[in-house]
A and B are shown apart, each in its own frame.
Chain A
Amino acid sequence: MADNLETTVAFWYLAIAAVGAGALMLVARNPVHSAISLVIVIFHVAGLFVILGAGFLAVAQIAIYAGAIVVLFLFTLMMLDMRRLPNERVTHRQIWLGIPLGILLAIEGVVVSVGTPEISASIKGTFPPATISELGGSTQALAVALFNDFTLPFLGASVLLTAATIGAIVLARRVESHEQADFPQAAKESSPVETPAEPSSAEPVPEESAR
């Protein structure tokens, strides 16, 4: 599939644009610019998936990552109104872990790209193109993998994510202000001593109900 002109041109455009936008995301001082660059990366990587014949993966990537996750990032950034990062050094102690890991990843990348024929011959995967076309498309192949071969891990991951969501809700919810949201008068009367900073504790109420 990779040997006609259109795919080659498309691949190089997508690859260069994705890497360029990724670099832009890292160097941008403005967090909103970083988030927008991340969307551009996601979009171009989705294009690479299309070249590989994985249409479902491409569309899911755009719908989930660009359509839900990064929108949520942007939403948070706008709520906090972060215009610029403070102009201080951002190199922390993680750098001593980051540099060796980065070098390791670079070596891995070189090994994979130089030794491509042998390695790609050894990792064919469960679904080579012939099997996929036999099943009727990449969507069907993914469904077979998720719901037949890996049902138990898939269900396990679902339960884990549900538990994480419930945990996040429990952690984020403030019990006192929630009671006040429903019955501001009753909460005040029942605990007259415990709410000295009343205006500030009552303030988040409209915001919370808006969400």
Chain B
Amino acid sequence: MDFWAWLILITKVLAIFVLFALGAIPLVLLERWVLGRMQSRYGPHRVGWRGSLQSAADGLKLGIKEDMIPEKSDKGVYWFAPVMMVMPAMAAWAIVPFGPEVEMGRTIGLWVADLNVGILFFLAMGSLGVYGVVMSGWSSNSKYAHLGALRSSAQVISYELVMGLAVLAVIIYAGSLSLIDIVNAQAGLWFIVPQLIGFLLFVFAAVAETNRAPFDLPEAESELVAGFHVEYSGMRWAFFFMAEYANMLLMAALVATLFLGGWRGWTIPGLEALSGVIWFLLKVALFMFGFFLLRATQPRFRYDQLMNFCWKILIPIGVVNLLIAAGLRMAWS
């Protein structure tokens, strides 16, 4: 690689890092506004114009808060757990295509890496994410954290299967594991049309994997206070928060890429160069709003309902859906 290739790569990585580090601030604000409107209350409205600086102020508060470590915790693991939470969430962003290739002196793809095993890399990183939860819950030496970690590990392993089955059906249609190829394969028809069932399965699994309502059993505040991160404070706690929002964004980006044609859409007149990125961001925003909507409207599942729903309903549907997809593909070719 020459100098410019290195520079472009480092710029891309830094862009992902900044997105990760600062993305949570506007997202938290938006979520609180949306929740406020849906629950007939104001939401944040004091700091800045209509409360627009609220989450920046919260971030500042977390930054200067004391970093508490419980006396009888397992110090090494306790220290490492937030890192383990953040690392896979950031690594998985490397394969997300934000837009098509653009010409800027040389051809630059708007993604960090086009792996030929792309979507499997995402699944692998998603399965590593559970370690942050398990390590934090175990090392805190607290009942609530322990229970949260137990729930999370069982829940994430189970819903990973659902997600894998949904992704496999898409791979069968696209004939490739690379996300760029998957987006290109949707030139004629977005995969949500032939794979509506796969799309629904993926959305269910995405909500469960990110531990969001109505599947937020690992941190159910009415019973477990805050679940696996109950003992954390200050910046360490902020890491968990950032990882949660980065994972939500990642899932929204993956739904857009796998089922809604990624950056594909009509070319916007006047903004030809940017229209791909704009379409992609619009689709991501739609799903982020969906996450907020779910949280505002759905009551939390009971834990046995959650597991039964996965193993007795979603996984059988996923297997049948996969078989049908494979059969249709065989019939076509």
Q: Do A and B share a complex? A: yes
Expressed in whole angstroms, the Cα–Cα distance for A53 and B157 within the complex equals 28
Expressed in whole angstroms, the Cα–Cα distance for A75 and B155 within the complex equals 11
In the complex, how many angstroms separate the beta carbon of B138 from the nearest chain A beta carbon?
A: 6
| Contacts of A11-65 to chain B: CB distance below 8 A | 30, 32-33, 36, 39, 55-56, 58-60, 62-63
Establish whether residues B138 and A139, one from each chain, have CB atoms under 8 Å apart when the complex forms. no
Establish whether residues B138 and A78, one from each chain, have CB atoms under 8 Å apart when the complex forms. yes
Residues of A within 8 A of B115 (CB): 55
| Contacts of B286-311 to chain A: CB distance below 8 A | 303-304, 307
Residues of B within 8 A of A78 (CB): 134, 137-138, 146, 149-150, 153
Residues of A within 8 A of B121 (CB): 59
In the complex, how many angstroms separate the beta carbon of B77 from the nearest chain A beta carbon?
A: 7
**Residue B224 CB within 8 A of the other chain:** no
Residue tally, chain A, CB below 8 Å to B: 27
Given contacts A78-B149, A210-B307, contact A68 B127 (CB under 8 A): yes
Q: B147-167 interface mask toward A, CB cutoff 8 Å, 1 = contact, 0 = none?
A: 001100110110010000000
Expressed in whole angstroms, the Cα–Cα distance for A63 and B177 within the complex equals 15
Establish whether residues B150 and A63, one from each chain, have CB atoms under 8 Å apart when the complex forms. no
Expressed in whole angstroms, the Cα–Cα distance for A36 and B83 within the complex equals 14
**Residue B116 CB within 8 A of the other chain:** yes
Expressed in whole angstroms, the Cα–Cα distance for A66 and B177 within the complex equals 21
In the complex, how many angstroms separate the beta carbon of B300 from the nearest chain A beta carbon?
A: 15
Residues of A within 8 A of B130 (CB): 67, 71
Residue tally, chain B, CB below 8 Å to A: 31
Establish whether residues B303 and A55, one from each chain, have CB atoms under 8 Å apart when the complex forms. no
Find A32's partner among B77, B116, B150, B307 (CB 8 Å cutoff).
B77
Establish whether residues B138 and A211, one from each chain, have CB atoms under 8 Å apart when the complex forms. no
Establish whether residues A71 and B157, one from each chain, have CB atoms under 8 Å apart when the complex forms. yes
Residues of A within 8 A of B116 (CB): 55, 137, 139
In the complex, how many angstroms separate the beta carbon of B308 from the nearest chain A beta carbon?
A: 8
Residues of B whose CB lies within 8 Å of any CB of A are: 74, 77, 115-117, 120-121, 123-128, 130-131, 134-135, 137-138, 146, 149-150, 153-154, 156-157, 160, 177, 303-304, 307
Residues of A within 8 A of B153 (CB): 71, 74-75, 78
Identify whether the interface residues of A are mostly helix, strand, loop, or mixed: helix
Establish whether residues B128 and A139, one from each chain, have CB atoms under 8 Å apart when the complex forms. no
Given contacts A59-B121, A74-B153, contact A139 B177 (CB under 8 A): yes
Residues of A within 8 A of B126 (CB): 67
**Residue A209 CB within 8 A of the other chain:** yes
Find B154's partner among A63, A66, A67, A75 (CB 8 Å cutoff).
A75
Expressed in whole angstroms, the Cα–Cα distance for A60 and B117 within the complex equals 10
In the complex, how many angstroms separate the beta carbon of A25 from the nearest chain B beta carbon?
A: 14
**Residue A95 CB within 8 A of the other chain:** no
Establish whether residues B77 and A36, one from each chain, have CB atoms under 8 Å apart when the complex forms. yes
Given contacts A33-B77, A79-B150, A211-B154, contact A55 B117 (CB under 8 A): yes
Establish whether residues A67 and B128, one from each chain, have CB atoms under 8 Å apart when the complex forms. yes
In the complex, how many angstroms separate the beta carbon of A169 from the nearest chain B beta carbon?
A: 12
In the complex, how many angstroms separate the beta carbon of A146 from the nearest chain B beta carbon?
A: 15
Expressed in whole angstroms, the Cα–Cα distance for A132 and B149 within the complex equals 42
Expressed in whole angstroms, the Cα–Cα distance for A59 and B128 within the complex equals 11
Establish whether residues B304 and A209, one from each chain, have CB atoms under 8 Å apart when the complex forms. yes
Expressed in whole angstroms, the Cα–Cα distance for A32 and B116 within the complex equals 34
**Residue A72 CB within 8 A of the other chain:** yes
Expressed in whole angstroms, the Cα–Cα distance for A112 and B77 within the complex equals 38
Expressed in whole angstroms, the Cα–Cα distance for A75 and B135 within the complex equals 11
| Beyond A30-B74, A55-B117, A59-B124, 13 additional pairs, beta carbon < 8 A | A32-B74, A32-B77, A36-B77, A36-B135, A39-B131, A55-B116, A62-B125, A63-B120, A66-B128, A67-B126, A78-B146, A209-B304, A210-B304
Establish whether residues B127 and A62, one from each chain, have CB atoms under 8 Å apart when the complex forms. yes
In the complex, how many angstroms separate the beta carbon of A141 from the nearest chain B beta carbon?
A: 12
| Contacts of A106-133 to chain B: CB distance below 8 A | none
In the complex, how many angstroms separate the beta carbon of B192 from the nearest chain A beta carbon?
A: 25
Expressed in whole angstroms, the Cα–Cα distance for A211 and B157 within the complex equals 12
Find A211's partner among B77, B117, B307 (CB 8 Å cutoff).
B307
Q: A72-107 interface mask toward B, CB cutoff 8 Å, 1 = contact, 0 = none?
A: 101100110100000000000000000000000000
In the complex, how many angstroms separate the beta carbon of A9 from the nearest chain B beta carbon?
A: 15
When C-beta atoms are compared, the residue in chain B nearest to A46 turns out to be: B124
Which 9 residue pairs of A and B lie closest in terms of their CB atoms, listed nearest first? A67-B127, A62-B124, A63-B124, A59-B120, A55-B117, A75-B153, A59-B124, A59-B117, A209-B304
| Contacts of A175-211 to chain B: CB distance below 8 A | 209-211
